[in-house]
Chains A and B, each alone.
Chain A
Amino acid sequence: MSDGVKAVMGDPSEDGRFGQFGGRFVPETLVPACQDLEKAFRSAWGDQVFRDELSTLLADYAGRPSPVTECHRLGEELGYRVLLKREDLNHTGSHKINNVMGQALLAKRMGKTRLIAETGAGQHGVATATAAALFGMECIVFMGEVDIVRQELNVFRMNLLGAEVVPAMSGSRTLKDAVNEAMREWVAQVEDSYYCLGSAMGPHPYPWMVRTFHEVIGSEAREQCARILDGGVPDVVTACVGGGSNAIGIFSGFADTDAELVGVEPAGGAAVGRRVPGVVHGSKSYLMQDEVGQVLEAQSISAGLDYPGVGPEHAHLADIGRARYESVTDAEVVEGFQLLARTEGIIPALECAHALAWMSRERDELAGKTVLMNLSGRGDKDVAQMMEVLGR
């Protein structure tokens, strides 16, 4: 963690809060597990041997650093300078590998032999299954029944990697319900299993730990941008936000600069956009819910953002005005998806297409600026779904 990060995006308080958000709202059974995890993470992160091992894995196995690509044709079309942080080029095709490698190493250090994960689009599930294969661990992934259908390819990938994929059949049968099932499994198997949570959400220390493992995105991008921009920083740094792990990773590299930070949520899952605080899945944050506190089902074309909550640090960044959060419709996302493919030869994940959709819609506001966008994943997994959407 750089000093800059500490200044604006600092460590959470002792009770796991970022401002008024965060905390550890879990069944009593899991409290000791969260406390042990916090202790283990603090010790590992303070241990140069652990950090060197993680850096080596990220370099030699996952392919870091990921490049920053300047998009000349897209920039010409939009009327401003566009830089992409290419997390899509990591092994397994998204930023998720950063967090998973960190957590799997930590699990190993804690003597755990089995990884539990939830997944929406399947990217985190694939990354976790990959780490489990690499470290010789058992792996069980919970995935909403709806998502299993729309992300069939990733289900096959996880099976190929030796993971068991269990459908979450309750509620909306999407990411929210996969998290519920993963937490239930964790309650039952807490002694030998490690819950490898996939976003910067959940009970303390997860939001902080997951951000820390993704800070590599922001710190690399900061240096790369400085090289491209003659020591400068972009005017705007943007990323899509579901739980918010890729956004928190790239924001962390620019929180202490003048760059404007913009998170883009799906209109049907805009937890920050609605600004109603709530408590679910272990932390207090903004949460889509009805007037009595029942959690609402998010609606998004993208399985990875189909989530009614958001990581607590995003709620805090919105609260203090350091970041702003915008939303885009599914129709705009479909346009953004095609735009990048057509102009740059890069097929983005539908999640990232949210940020592209916002960049395209707000091209007048952004005219003349330099925008860095975190391309957090590649779109191969979405191609079958988009064939249907586009009627081809």
Chain B
Amino acid sequence: MTTIGAFETALRARRDSGGKILVPYITGGLGDDWIETLHAVAEAGADGIEIGIPFSDPVMDGPTIQEANDRSLSSGTTPQSILNAVRETDLQVPLAVMTYYNIAFRAGDVRFANALVDAGISAAILPDLPLEETTSWAAAADEAGVETILLAAPTAPDERLPLICERSRGFVYGVGLLGITGVRSSLARSAMDIATRLKAVTDKPVLVGVGVGTPDQAVEVSTVADGVVVGSAIVNRMLSGAGPEGVAELVAEFRSALDGRWPGHATRGRQ
């Protein structure tokens, strides 16, 4: 048996209340006010926040997050500077980092997992570390108490999905389409499909991300999924200089669209 970590606990609380889960993605170190943005996004109704640690070669990311990565890196961001900033702030929602495996590998799996815990981060998403390659990292993460969130893609054959769900902690990240991150004009059929297929094989929270860019799309996919991860739409706001309030405004739109359809019975799962 595995114990349920802080990230999954918060997500389950939202789901158990009858509401839908909202996890925004924020690029770490993007702009001087990105920590304020984290707070504003938490206040606007995020159930958990994904913090991107920029990597030089993000093969799963589209132009928006690539640009955010480049800007953040050229302002001097390092994995440690992000973790330091997070450690020194006090957020009321659980946090996950999203980065590529070389960042963890270079630090050392154990050291990186411990650094996350030390910064108060509950979970990690490493999109270039598929199920078969998780062994070394996941051992370190499990030992440190970091939840390793795995992705499940539309291309996975049926027999693969339960294996991914079994190994995933925090939630199961359903990839909404064949492609990289970015806002699309409409929700791909594959988003509904992967949500349906995942819900059929797991009780863990199922969130869909990649190609979920508007409140309407979030509502549409949440008719099946337990909620959504929203990345590029939010990062676009950050890149356009909207500031913490502007970003929070967009998060609040997602929140109210989801709450409008699924009011739930509790106000918030936290203070």
B80–chain A nearest beta-carbon distance, Å: 7
In the complex, which of the residues A28, A184, A295 has the most CB atoms of chain B within 10 Å of its own CB atom? A28
CA distance A176 to B150 in the complex (A): 26
Q: A188-B179, A294-B73 are in contact. Are A28 and B59 (CB under 8 A)?
A: no
**Across the interface, which residues of B come within 8 angstroms of A294, CB to CB?**
55-56, 73
- A28 adjacent to B102 (CB under 8 Å): no
Q: A31-B132, A292-B78 are in contact. Are A184 and B178 (CB under 8 A)?
A: no
Binds B, one of A2-10, A19-27, A94-102: A19-27
- B59 adjacent to A189 (CB under 8 Å): no
**Across the interface, which residues of A come within 8 angstroms of B128, CB to CB?**
25-27, 279, 282
- A289 adjacent to B102 (CB under 8 Å): yes
| B103 close to A (CB within 8 Å) | yes
- A292 adjacent to B79 (CB under 8 Å): yes
| A247 close to B (CB within 8 Å) | no
Which of A23, A32, A180 is the one whose CB lies under 8 Å from B133? A23
**Across the interface, which residues of A come within 8 angstroms of B70, CB to CB?**
170
| A71 close to B (CB within 8 Å) | no
- B80 adjacent to A292 (CB under 8 Å): yes
**CB-CB contacts of A252-281 with B at 8 A, as 1s and 0s?**
000000000000000000000000011111
| B155 close to A (CB within 8 Å) | yes
CA distance A243 to B28 in the complex (A): 32
CA distance A25 to B135 in the complex (A): 12
* CB proximity to B under 8 Å, residues A217-269: none
- A27 adjacent to B56 (CB under 8 Å): no
**Across the interface, which residues of A come within 8 angstroms of B157, CB to CB?**
32
**CB-CB contacts of B153-171 with A at 8 A, as 1s and 0s?**
1111100100010000000
Q: A15-B132, A24-B130, A292-B80 are in contact. Are A29 and B153 (CB under 8 A)?
A: yes
B222–chain A nearest beta-carbon distance, Å: 21
Q: A171-B57, A295-B102 are in contact. Are A28 and B164 (CB under 8 A)?
A: yes
CA distance A25 to B128 in the complex (A): 5
**Across the interface, which residues of B come within 8 angstroms of A282, CB to CB?**
128
| B201 close to A (CB within 8 Å) | no
- B175 adjacent to A29 (CB under 8 Å): yes
- A280 adjacent to B178 (CB under 8 Å): no
| B119 close to A (CB within 8 Å) | no
- A28 adjacent to B103 (CB under 8 Å): no
A174–chain B nearest beta-carbon distance, Å: 12
**CB-CB contacts of A275-301 with B at 8 A, as 1s and 0s?**
001111110100101011111000000
**Across the interface, which residues of A come within 8 angstroms of B18, CB to CB?**
none
Q: 18 pairs across A/B with beta carbons < 8 Å?
A: A27-B60, A27-B153, A31-B131, A31-B132, A31-B156, A31-B160, A32-B155, A180-B57, A183-B59, A184-B62, A184-B180, A189-B178, A190-B155, A191-B178, A281-B57, A289-B102, A292-B107, A295-B57
